Chains A and B, each alone.
Chain A
Amino acid sequence: MYQLTGVTKRYRRGKDTVDALRGIDLAIADGDQLVIQGPTGGGKSTLLQMLGGLDRPTNGSVLLDGTDLARLGETRLTRVRAQQIGFIFQSFNLIPTLTAQENVETALVPLGVHPGQRRQQAAEALESVGLGERLSHLPSELSGGQQQRVAIARALVKQPKVLLADEPTGNLDEATRDDIMSLLEGLWRDRGLTFVIVTHDSAIAKRAPRLATIRKGTLTVRESTPS
């Protein structure tokens, strides 16, 4: 699925430069799960952005099914994001003025889905994350866990190949955290997604089949056979 070779990312801010990624080589197979850990500022989010086509690396290539995202034009990269990648954020990133259902629909807008069908699919996606009763609620009327469920529904409604999650439980309390994690793991298993998750949760890290750690832009991967 993914093949990263020599990926570097250098941020420039005036005269200062930050090397967020320093030559990352990484392969992720179809349907795999990869857990990424590391200290703050290590480059986890930056790597996830490279995988999700949200930004381009300074050097190196990011092949997704043989297409190099690093060299794709903006229009085609936008299409890749719209069709193949589901992104989940730490702070949910729902549109505050739109209802749960409309928020989920925003993922289908760039695909040109007919409005009626769009609403239908959004309702079904919310149903599948246990929010069938909350279609017309605004984000502010939902709990943190519920908001993240809406975000998960939004990421999955378009049936992407890849699900990327950047600390999806970072803003949640412990009980909710487990809820969301088991929901995500269930979805990963059921749908055969390629799933990359950044997390500080040591419980998840422990049972992860593959664990990557980024420190100062350098990646080390620990393979383990789950017990």
Chain B
Amino acid sequence: MFFTYLRRELRRRRKAALVVALGLALGIGLVITVDSVSSGMDQAQGKVLKSLYGLGTDMTVTKAASAASATTRPQFNFNANSSGSSQSSDRVLVQGFQTLASSTATEVGAQPHVAKAVGGLNLQVLKINGTFTQGQFQPGQGSGQGSSQGGPGGGQSPQGQVRGGGAQFDANSYSVYGVDVSDLTLGPLSSSKITSGAGLTAADAKAADAVVDASYAKQNKIAVGSQLTIKGTKFKVVGISTADSGDAAADVYLPLSRAQTLADAKDKITTVYVKASDSQQISAVKSAIQKDVPGTTVTTSADLASTVSGSLSTASSLASNVGRWLSIAVLIAAFLVAGLLTSSAVSRRVREFGTLKALGWKSGRVTRQVMGEALVNGLIGGALGIALGLAGAYAVTAISPTLTAQLGGGGSAPGGGGPGGFGGGARQAAARTVDIALTAPVSVATIVLAVLLALGGGLIAGTFGGWRASRLRPADALRRVE
């Protein structure tokens, strides 16, 4: 009788059932959409962070910024007598001018809950070439080479034409990253794919091989097999890499020891890339490193994420705050409305339930019937809500609004000289902007959540109605209600 009665009620009182279900559907649909949009935001942020860090990096370790960083301004020595001849000179600078000992990577790797720690060396190469006609050379465009932090947006290599008295020069700057070839799964290069040629391998530890980022290669007409001369050393380009995020961490990748030699930084690194064994342990690992490896700054993805600004972070906080609260509010309202509607539906059926009790139906049986109806209403609402939510998420993905993320607080870092937090990690960009198209992926967990919410909504509605029904007396069969 339970199912017959349930089926008949739902079929013959379709409208009432649909009203309850629609209310729940609205709430559940909103939850799914907001949930998927905010996981899309997370993905977008993840992409932004990955472009800096490389895949799987949970945190970076750099040298702690010291107040008076020994900023040695680069000097160029040109042969001032050979007037009119073409000359070229490279200066290889350690990015941020701050280095750690290579052994730091090992030290960090020995910390508890650290799965892996790989060191790398970030370099900046300034190439000046041109003709010199007896005169005075003024380096760069003022601050051009001075403070690496102060440079303009790092997307393109800044080129400044320098004219001294009778001299015409091109200043060209590009970034070099020294890769620890013994482990290529962590660090900046891990977020790039080799799109032509071969990548660096463990066998390349001492080789004069280089991998060049695709966009830099295109700009400078470099291909696999080309030769690259850095500070007089010839490197063979073995591969071209393309960054997954479209924004590479460096222009040129060299084996670590080669990079160290170029920069006169033997056994020195700028950054240690760390992967924790468990994402729950990240903050524990951070404090352990800060305690046990003095003089370092540890930057986690979360720290980094907090420096992300621009429309992505605005939208992201909108989704996680306003969106979440809105969907919770709508959900609570939907639950309440479903409960009240169910309860009022019971009120309209006072005589019906009273009659059943007069016929000898136990209170529990009547309550169960009401509960069953409400649960089915909830499930119908859940199904509609999932459909609504999927439609919403699909619409967001189809429109895929573009969000921009600004990293590093738009060059607001004071002091300038130091490696300013994570900045010591990748390229010289103080502030860089990444465009990301927003998607709204719907996960299985979200669907499961929706089903649970539907059941919860049905249960709440059923409790309202069931409570009302349980209080009816058999004498209510004689009540004049219409």
Contacts and interface: CB of A to CB of B under 8 A. Distances in A.
A137 interface: no
Contacts of A111: 360
29 contacts: A49-B475, A53-B474, A54-B358, A54-B473, A55-B474, A74-B363, A75-B362, A78-B363, A81-B358, A81-B359, A82-B359, A87-B359, A89-B355, A89-B477, A89-B478, A93-B355, A95-B5, A96-B12, A96-B352, A97-B8, A102-B8, A106-B1, A107-B360, A109-B359, A109-B361, A110-B359, A138-B12, A154-B359, A166-B478
A83 interface: yes
B360 A81 contact: yes
A95 B360 CA distance: 15
Contact of B475 (A55, A98, A115): A55
Contacts, number: 82
A128 to B, nearest CB: 19
Q: Is the interface of B mostly helix, strand, loop or mixed?
A: helix
B469 to A, nearest CB: 14
Contact of B355 (A79, A95, A105, A110): A95
The 4 closest A-B pairs by CB, nearest first: A82-B360, A110-B360, A54-B474, A97-B12
Interface string B450-476: 000000000000000000000001110
A45 interface: yes
A98 B7 CA distance: 10
Nearest to B473: A55
Interface string B356-391: 111111110100000000000000000000000000
Contacts of B221: none
Contacts of A95: 5, 352, 355-356
Instruction: Indicate the member of A74, A79, A115 with the most B CB atoms within 10 Å.
Output: A74
B365 A93 contact: no
A201 B97 CA distance: 110
A82 B362 CA distance: 9
B2 to A, nearest CB: 9
A52 interface: yes
Interface of B: 1, 4-5, 8-9, 11-13, 351-352, 355-363, 365, 473-475, 477-478
A223 to B, nearest CB: 28
Contacts of B9: 97
B478 to A, nearest CB: 6
A49 B479 CA distance: 12
Contact of A54 (B4, B352, B361, B475): B475
Interface string A75-91: 10011011100010101
A91 B11 CA distance: 24
B275 to A, nearest CB: 62
B171 to A, nearest CB: 86
B353 to A, nearest CB: 10
Given A81-B474, A109-B361, 15 more contacts: A49-B478, A81-B359, A82-B361, A87-B358, A95-B352, A96-B352, A97-B11, A97-B12, A98-B5, A102-B8, A106-B359, A107-B359, A107-B360, A110-B361, A110-B362
A106 B352 CA distance: 12
Nearest to A107: B359
Contacts of B352: 93, 95-96
Contact of B477 (A54, A78, A138): A54
A106 to B, nearest CB: 6
Nearest to A164: B358
Contacts of A75: 362
Contacts of A138: 12
Contacts of A52: 358
A53 B356 CA distance: 13
Interface string A128-139: 000000000010
Contacts of B362: 75, 78, 110
A87 B351 CA distance: 14
Contacts of A107: 359-360
Nearest to A80: B360
A98 B12 CA distance: 9
Contacts of A96: 12, 352
Nearest to A109: B1
B349 to A, nearest CB: 9
Contacts of B356: 95, 106
Contacts of B11: 97
Contact of A105 (B1, B358, B360, B365): B1
Contact of B360 (A55, A78, A89, A97): A78
A52 B351 CA distance: 16
Interface string A23-60: 00000000000000000000001000100111100000
A138 B11 CA distance: 13
A83 B12 CA distance: 30
Nearest to A55: B475
A91 B355 CA distance: 11
A181 B251 CA distance: 102
A96 B5 CA distance: 11
Nearest to B352: A95
Nearest to B351: A93
Contacts of A81: 357-360, 474
